[in-house]
Amino acid sequence: MDTVVLSAWSSPLFLLILFRLGGLFLTAPIFAGSHLPIPFKIGLALSLTVSLYPLLGKSALLARGMEPFSLALSIVGEVAVGVVIGLAARLLFVGVSLAGELAGVQMGLGIANVVDPQFPQQASIVAQFLELMTILTFLTLHGHHAFLEAVWASFESIPLGTFSGAAAAGAASVLVALFGKSLVLALRLSSPIMVAVLITNVAMGLLARVAPQLNFFAFGLSVTFIVGLLVLLVSLPLLTHLIGVSTGQVRLELFTLLRSLSYAVR
Rounded mean pLDDT of 116-121? 55
pLDDT at residue 2 tops 50? no
Extended strands (E) in 54-179: 113-116, 121-124
Q: In this predicted model, what pLDDT tens digit does every residue of 172-230 receive, in sequence order?
A: 888 888 888 888 888 888 888 889 888 888 888 888 777 777 676 667 777 888 888 88
Q: Please give the Cα distance from 154 to 203 (Å, whole number).
A: 54
Number of domains in the chain: 1
pLDDT at residue 44 tops 80? yes
pLDDT of residue 147: 80
3-state secondary structure of 32: coil
pLDDT of residue 160: 81
Q: Which residue has the higher pLDDT, 124 or 179?
A: 179
pLDDT of residue 220: 72
Cβ-contact 53, 14 below 8 angstroms: yes
Q: In this predicted model, what pLDDT tens digit does every residue of 46-83 receive, in sequence order?
A: 888 888 888 776 554 554 456 777 778 888 888 888 88
Q: Please give the Cα distance from 253 to 259 (Å, whole number).
A: 10
- For the entire predicted model, the pTM comes to 0.77
Who contacts 265 (Cβ-Cβ below 8 Å, separation ≥6)? 158, 159, 162, 163, 164, 166, 167
Q: Which residue has the higher pLDDT, 121 or 220?
A: 220
pLDDT of residue 265: 62
Report DSSP state, residue 159: -
Report DSSP state, residue 212: T
Q: Which domain holds residue 6?
A: 1-265
Q: How is 54-106 classified by DSSP, letter by letter?
A: HHH---HHHHT---HHHHHHHHHHHHHHHHHHHHHHHHHHHHHHHHHHHHHHH
A 10 A CB-CB count for 248 gives: 15
Cβ-contact 194, 102 below 8 angstroms: yes
Q: Please give the Cα distance from 51 to 173 (Å, whole number).
A: 32
